[in-house]
Amino acid sequence: MVTLFTMHLLRAVDHPGKYLEFSIEGPDYYPWQENLFVESPYTIDDGKVVVPDRPGWGVDIHPDWFAGSIQQVTTQADVT
């Protein structure tokens, strides 16, 4: 997810540079990522990543992934 967020941030910056570090580790390193997205959010065109310009992150999280995840909510009362 951090890569997606960074892609969108860099798209909004005037002169972001030419490169973005991309994690190539697979499911053995990040098993929690398996089946995270409904479809791959990474589209490559002519050697460059395509960053959507519509609102949102341009990704759909698989509902089954959410169903099996642990969710925590922090409220203002938790941090004061």
Provide block-wise average pLDDT over 10 residues at a time, the chain (80 residues).
Answer: 85 86 83 87 86 83 88 88
Asked whether the beta carbons of 21 and 50 are under 8 A apart, the reply is no
**pTM (2 d.p.):** 0.63
- 């791959």: which residue's tokens? 40
Asked whether the beta carbons of 62 and 37 are under 8 A apart, the reply is yes
Kindly report, residue by residue over 57-80, the tens digit of the pLDDT.
Answer: 888 889 998 888 888 899 999 887
For 39, 60, 68, 69, 71, the CA distances from 63, given in Å and listed in that order, are: 12, 9, 9, 10, 13
